[in-house]
Amino acid sequence: EAGVTQFPSHSVIEKGQTVTLRCDPISGHDNLYWYRRVMGKEIKFLLHFVKESKQDESGMPNNRFLAERTGGTYSTLKVQPAELEDSGVYFCASSQNTGELFFGEGSRLTVL
């Protein structure tokens, strides 16, 4: 069974540009989460989907970040326009209602 997959694995963009990250959760997992880790810092929660609905988006930094999960399958996280402080590794995770998170490999974003 495929795990959580994320694309791209690494993205390098200039300040002001737009980037869209994609996450495909494990098939059948209703819960999908986005987390971010800035270098040397903790992994911080961004938001949580249950199927296509946003359950909790309290961790989203500001309105430059937009997450969608149309149809309750894959999710995208768009950053527009990107700023320098947005650099970091963006992790997607999915779970069934058991509490165990299964993480993807992460998408490393570098904003120059």
Partner 1 sequence: GQQLNQSPQSMFIQEGEDVSMNCTSSSIFNTWLWYKQDPGEGPVLLIALYKAGELTSNGRLTAQFGITRKDSFLNISASIPSDVGIYFCAGGPYLSGGGADGLTFGKGTHLIIQP
Structural tokens at position 110: 């570098």
Kindly identify the residues of this chain, within the stretch 29-68, that bind partner 1 according to CB under 8 A: 31, 33, 35, 40-45, 48, 50, 55-56
CB of 51 to partner 1, least distance (A): 12
**Residue 99, interface with partner 1 (CB under 8 A)?**
yes
Please classify residue 37 by burial: count the beta carbons closer than 10 Å to its beta carbon, then call 0-12 exposed, 13-18 middle and 19+ buried.
Answer: middle
- Quote the DSSP letter at residue 93: E
The residue assigned the tokens 């494990």 is 26
**Residue 1, interface with partner 1 (CB under 8 A)?**
no
Which spans of this chain sit near partner 1 (rule: CB under 8 A)? Answer: 4, 31, 33, 35, 40-45, 48, 50, 55-56, 91, 93, 95, 97-106
